[in-house]
Amino acid sequence: MAVRDAWTDERLDDLSATMSGEFDRVGREFDRVHADLREIRAEMSAMQRSMVVTQRTTVVGFAAVVASVLVTQL
C-alpha cells in the first residue's frame, strides 16, 4: 500500500464521514451495553431481595423447630 503524501479535501471529507459513522456505531453499542447492565443490575437487586426473604424465612423456620423441640422437652 502506497503512503499518501497529500490528502485532498474530498478524501479528508470521506475519512471524516467514515470516522463519524464508526463513532456513532460505537456510541450506540455502548448505549446498548449500558442498557443491558442496568437490566442486569435490576435483576440482581430483585434476586438479592428474594434471597434475603428466603434467608429470613429459613432462620424463622429453624427457630420455630428449635422452640418446638425445647417446648416438648419440658
CA distance 1 to 7: 15
User: What is the average pLDDT score of the chain?
Assistant: 93
CA distance 61 to 20: 61
The pLDDT of residue 4: 64
Let me know if residue 1 belongs to a domain: no
The pLDDT of residue 12: 92
Mean pLDDT of 30-54: 97
Let me know if residue 2 belongs to a domain: no
Confidence of residue 3 (pLDDT cuts 50, 70, 90): low
Let me know if residue 55 belongs to a domain: yes
CA distance 14 to 8: 10
Let me know if residue 3 belongs to a domain: no
Provide the grid cell at 47. Answer: 434476586
The pLDDT of residue 2: 63
pLDDT per residue as tens digits for the range 7-37:
889 999 999 999 999 999 999 999 999 999 9
